[in-house]
Structure 1
Amino acid sequence: MAMSFIFWICLCIFSVSAELQLLEQPIKSDGSLSFLVVGDWGRKGDYNQSQVAQQMGKIGDELNIDFIVSTGDNFYEDGLRSINDHAFDKSFTQIYTAESLQKQWYSVLGNHDYRGNVEAQLSPTLGKLDSRWFCQRSFVLNTEVAEFFFVDTTPFVDKYFLRPKHHHYDWRGVLPRKEYLSNLVKDLDSALRNSAANWKIVIGHHTIKSVGHHGNTKELVEQVLPILEANNVDLYINGHDHCLEHMSSTTSPIQFLTSGGGSKAWKGDFYRLDQEGLKFYYDGQGFMSVQLTQANAKIVFYDVFGRVLHDLHLSKGLNYAM
């Protein structure tokens, strides 16, 4: 069904390090860039996934989006079983059918994806089934307006290794873990330091700062956050908590944005809502849009009906929320 957008998008892949690939994404002729962000979605249309997809199609058309970002947990409950798993078609191709969503999707893995066959979800074969699909553990997407750093956050979290309970995790490509994480941290730091982008945006599945169900991910706070702060990152975008959320940092200009409302939401499941830095929290389904120019960024959160819940406007040297 999907058109072969990978050709007109001129998607090029280069090697920038042992772990990170560099992709190129063109921007609009007016120098702007726009995209949608959705996470925690793959439930074969259930839990309002189809309704969220419908509104994404409408907003995507209004904004003339250039691509879509998925923040992980792409297929519930346990990722994909194989490259022939019908969940890929039923949770992705058959759901995001709007014309405006027939653009490149850039996806990272979530913890639920790691419970399945990770190699299947990373396989180029899925891109042949639906040319919109691109998923890698970690990679860099470069544009003239911004640079995006997609980070594989699941292997950082100790409990998936120490207390797996009844879940099996596919750690192929990750073990030995210590070496994998050491290389990833070094590669991320190097890529950020060498970036001349006006906007630096890091995308991962797990929260760094959140008042939602999972709260802060201590391993990312300890191992990743210092790198983001040292390299003047503007936005950290994640899923994992099934909500929409905006928190600011008290020690840096980083804005923490959660878009994990692609399907099942956790109504009423959160920590204290008076935590310092909290700007917006919504415990329902929805998604996020981002519009960028060299000087300005506009982020908007939408609910399952397409209603605007929260706006965030940023500019170099000035930021405020409405």
Structure 2
Amino acid sequence: IMVLTKAFIVLALLSVAMSMQISNIDVPTEEDLHSQMVAFNASINLMFPSHIGKPAMKDPNDMTQRFFVIGDFGAFFNYRELSKATDAMNDLAAKYDYDHIVTVGDNFYWDGIDNINNRWKTWLCLSVFKKSALRNILIYPTLGNHDCHNDINNEILLSKYDYQWRFEQEYYVKVTPLKDDSKKFYVNFMLNSCKTICPPGNIYQYDNDECARFGFPPGGEEVRKHYAWIEEQFARYSNDPDTAWMSISLHHQPYVHPGEKLALLPLMKKYGIELIITGHEHWNEYSN
């Protein structure tokens, strides 16, 4: 009976949050947004009490650089599995100091965010990162093919409504200072894979079709601008004596997609990229 009562209250609160949102879908006020978030968080805390509490004390002498990587995750129909994954992340974050969370695209299935004023799906998917030890760890996203099926600016605008979601540009550089007092930093180039798979040249028909759907024709101006930016940033940080090591984060694998093999891999080799972080294939990789 208690479980059924909780479920009923949760559904009621979610209905309130969603109805408030729909009634103000054109011009939601800050007060409306705050009320929606309060109602939504109340429902989440009722159903998942593990969201509440304080993280354990961590070793202040731990100099290890740690960050989480998650990709292909934002599906409300997959909420239970996503919550289990973030339970494991929450357990680790309670024991060790994690700098941030990186996403490698396909943040919201099936077609990204179609309307920034209709955020119930994004709130549901991001609520799992509000658990006790995760809630203060910032999320730095990249885009995947599903995200690019709608206006990618909606995922950028989401940064205004979720304090963890730090996505100010469609591609950017994430610089993280090392913890060892060396004053050096780790550089992660956060790329837009919807453009990196679309350079000019001999690419598979599948990629051609995807590029057309994204609105980025192979070798088009937007693609050329992104690749020019990539080389500029690679050159800048590879020549910086304070750069300890460099990685790229993106959705598609450069060793698999022919467009990236053609245009991105040579740049990575030229400038000494040491780590590639990707998603798309829905495999699991565990590292310690």
TM over 0.5, shorter chain: yes
Give unpaired runs (5+ residues) of structure 1: 3-27, 210-215, 246-287, 289-298, 301-322
SS in 2 for 1:201: strand
The percentage of counterpart residues that share the same residue type is 24
Alpha-carbon shift at residue 106 of structure 1 (Å): 0.5
Alpha-carbon shift at residue 119 of structure 1 (Å): 0.9
Q: How many residues align?
A: 212
Change (3 A) 1:178 1:131: closer
SS in 1 for 2:188: strand
Which residue does 2:197 correspond to in 1?
157
Name which structure has the greater RCO, CA cutoff 8 Å, separation 6+: 1
Alpha-carbon shift at residue 162 of structure 1 (Å): 3.0
Give unpaired runs (5+ residues) of structure 2: 1-36, 39-59, 179-185, 199-204
Aligned with 1:58 (options 91, 94, 97) = 91
How does the TM-score come out when normalised to structure 1?
0.59
Structure 2 matches for 1:92-131, cutoff 5 A?
Answer: 92=126, 94-102=127-135, 103-123=137-157, 126-131=158-163
Matching of residue 78 in structure 1 with residue 111 in structure 2:
yes
- Extract structure 1 runs of 4+ deviating beyond 6 A: none
| Higher Cα radius of gyration | 2
Aligned with 1:183 (options 192, 214, 228) = 228
Matching of residue 202 in structure 1 with residue 248 in structure 2:
yes
With 220-229 and 64-73 compared, the bigger mean Cα shift is at: 220-229
* Distance in 2 of aligned mates of 1:195 and 1:236: 20
What does the per-residue CA deviation read over 1:33-83, in whole Å, with 9 as the maximum and x for residues that have no partner?
211111100002617122112111112222221211111110000000122
Question: Does the Cα contact within 8 Å between 1:35 and 1:69 map onto a contact in 2?
Answer: yes
* Distance in 1 of aligned mates of 2:124 and 2:276: 29
Aligned with 1:44 (options 73, 76, 82) = 76
Point out the structure with the larger strand share. Answer: 1
How does the TM-score come out when normalised to structure 2?
0.65
* Distance in 1 of aligned mates of 2:277 and 2:128: 23
* Distance in 2 of aligned mates of 1:164 and 1:151: 17
How well do the aligned residues superpose, as a CA RMSD in angstroms?
2.8
